[in-house]
Amino acid sequence: MNRKLIIYRMAELFCGPGGLALGALRAEVESDASIYRIRPVWANDIDVNACATYKRNIHPDGAGIVLSGPVEKIDFKKTPSFDGLAFGFPCNDFSRVGEQRGINGHYGPLYSYGVKAISLHNPQWFIAENVSGLSNADSGETFNVILHELENSGKYGYKLTVHLYKFEEYGVPQQRHRIIIVGIRQDIGLDFKVPEPITKHPSEQISAKEAIENPPIPSDAANNELTRQSKNVVERLKYIKPGQNAWTAELPANLKLNVKGAKLSQIYRRLKPNKPSYTVTGSGGGGTHMYHWEEPRALTNRERARLQTFPDDFIFSGSKEQVRKQIGMAVPPKGAEIIFNALLNTLVGLEYQSVEANYVFE
């Protein structure tokens, strides 16, 4: 029997290198009569290198539109129509690492362009992503403002499901906690349910060592160049045990850091080989590049990409630091795929294993 192929067209704002898009492309649900998939049709990001990465990997056939430039300059009346919208709006002003300027910062108001796109196109669904710190900004007031604007956007409004996902519980070898907001248009009459974790128990979770070494990274893999470590860094790392950082390790006086004020736990922090890694980040100076559990060095970008569940044939464009930024800001494709599969099941009306959402707003 030939089943009908049904495609949901997806637009994306703040697309980065394409973590959400890759998860969407991999998602697929089958019924007796049809196969359901998602296809990215256009995307936007201000980072020209991220856009080049997205084009190369998400649209290798040249199909689809990727607009490089400020979201503020997009005329949403002229963009291609779409059935769903994804947007991981910039989290810099809500992250626990930084000044936490919230909605009044430079990046804080950018969620409103997702609201604008939704209001003009009335897509069937949307998925929005941000850091866990979003829910705490201004004692939760900012988050409620954002949720209510999303809930009431467009002609029909949206039924929201809000959940803090711990991605190590969804097959990702990394302790990465992110808020995902799934909205389904009210007139459709469906409720999205949070997909059940697949690696919730610590014994099931994928370790950093497993992710990086199994299988071995090919010798000719792209984005796998080593960072040149200074003699002092190499010596310092010799004293830092797996899981320790520059503040918790017993360092000789000549290797201690002369830093006053806040002491970030990521500084020269080694991975624990038998546990998921700590959160992969996209920026930061010396000592923030994530460090191998055994070798006295920072991880390569390809190793970071594996912790983010990007396949080895996903090639990033730009300089080493530009690639590091893209990898750190991305949504893990493996986690995204699970969420998009749950969304497709919801839209099709098929049951799947689920858990209660852990955030309720009024």
Residues labelled catalytic:
91
Looking at residue 83, what DSSP letter applies? Answer: S
The encoded tokens of residue 89 equal: 């709006």
Cβ contacts of 219 within 8 Å, gap of 6 or more: none
- Residue 206: partners with Cβ closer than 8 Å, 6 or more residues away: 168, 171, 172, 173, 199, 276
Bond prior to 215 in cis (omega within 30° of 0): yes
Q: Is 67 exposed, middle or buried (0-12, 13-18, 19+ CB in 10 A)?
A: middle
Closest CA to 13 of 114, 162, 131: 114
Give the closest residue to 35 by CA, choosing from 351, 337, 341. 341
CA atoms within a 13 Å half-sphere pointing along the CA-CB vector of 207:
14
- The alpha carbon dihedral of 80, 316, 92, 73 has a sign of negative
CA atoms within 13 Å, Cβ hemisphere of 20: 26
Q: Which helix (H) or strand (E) holds 6?
A: strand 4-13
> Minimal CA–CA distance to 26: which of 279, 277, 218, 309?
309
Structure tokens at 101: 């300027």
